[in-house]
Amino acid sequence: MAGIVVFGAGGRAGRAVTDEARRRGHRVTAVVRDPGRYPEPGADGVTVARGDVTDPGAVAEVVGGHAAAVHAVSPFSGPEQGFDSLDPEFFVKAADALLGGLAGAGVGRLVAVGLFAHLVGADGRAVMDDPAAFPAEIRPFALAHAAGLRRLREATERGGEAGAGVDWVMLTPPARLEVGAPRTGRYRLGGERAPDADAWLSYADLAVAVLDEIETPTLHRTRVSVFNSAGPGDAGS
């Protein structure tokens, strides 16, 4: 397989995906906003590149010659950052740039990392709409992320040139996304509903799911949950 482009390779999910791709022998282009801040991705088989996931021209330039792209970019590190610099249209712009840039470069597969907040809870509402389950101070970020998913879906429904030929999927981890948990190589795929409260996933196993969907696509133009457990029914990969 030709190489994989990882947008947001400096973040936790992006680093995990880069590591898993290298583990499987893929060539990786690790895209970050400031390459000088992230020297670690520049390991064997990894090329570090400066890029802007909201710029269609920049996306097309960096993805050319690759087989797939991963969107793991977040402009928001947590409530302590505040929202003064948060662009509510960030994920919409990223969706437009990725669909347009990948289509223009002839790259057919996009795997995006989703956000637990806009999965559907037991009451039929998005998790972010339940103040008892989701902190109100993070809601602006959740709304921005949900708008990006909506744009991907709209492009699919409209058809035409926008994103034509780009087969995207959004894999959404649970609220318990564990930084130090080990790679088990196992995970479960759900649907639009949030998994049970005890669901968890390691970043390493999120990366396993991402690479599985690149190497052998099973999900097409949809969003699903991905999670793990210690039970015997886990799906292996």
pTM beyond cutoff 0.85 = yes
The whole-number pLDDT of residue 227 equals: 96
Residue 34: band (very low, low, confident or very high) from pLDDT cuts 50, 70, 90: confident
143 CB-side CA count, 13 A: 12
Query: Residue 1 pLDDT > 80, yes or no?
Result: no
Residues 6 or more apart from 152 whose CB is under 8 A from it? 95, 99, 112, 163, 168, 170, 221
Distance CA 237, CA 231 (A): 15
pLDDT in tens, 117-172: 999 998 999 999 998 889 888 899 999 999 999 999 998 777 655 566 899 999 99
Q: Could you tell me if 10 and 32 are in contact, meaning their C-beta atoms sit under 8 angstroms apart?
A: yes
Query: Residue 233 pLDDT > 50, yes or no?
Result: no
pLDDT-wise least confident of 26-35, 79-88, 171-180, 220-229: 79-88
Average pLDDT, the chain: 89
Q: Which domains does the chain have, with CATH numbers?
A: 3-236 (3.40.50.720)
